[in-house]
Amino acid sequence: MKYKDDYQKIVYDLLSLTPNMNKMDRITEEMDWYADSDTRNFYLWKDQNDNWSGLLGVEDKEQNLLIRRLVLVPELFTMDNCFKMLNELEKIYLDKKIVGSLETAKVCEAWEQSKDE
């Protein structure tokens, strides 16, 4: 689900799970950076129990969709759940190739390979 202001607390909580995001100022900066551009968005993911459990920070780059952040609550951080999040995002951006940043490249590459199997 695409980020709306109603979900600010959820995004804040999920971002706080990432390394280097343990300070309120840093999280606020990150959220502001996404809000400052129409090409950047957060997408939230619900697990099988309908709980907010994941977050993707994306940037639209013409033909590509760059995954800048990929966050899951620790107890659900599996490749399978990462792949589910990326599969759902791919349905929204059918005309874009999903690629990873330095932080997310390994997961995105594994996801891409899993689609070929």
The pLDDT tens digits of the residues spanning 30-49 come to 999 999 999 999 999 999 99
The mean pLDDT value for 7-19 works out to 89
**What is the pLDDT at residue 115?**
83
Say yes or no to pLDDT of 3 above 70.
no
The mean pLDDT value for 64-74 works out to 96
Whose structure tokens read 């999280």?
27
Q: pTM value?
A: 0.90
The mean pLDDT value for 67-93 works out to 96
Measured distance CA(64)–CA(57) in Å, rounded = 14
Edge to edge, the sheet with strand 64-72 lists: 40-46, 52-61, 64-72, 97-100
Measured distance CA(107)–CA(54) in Å, rounded = 14
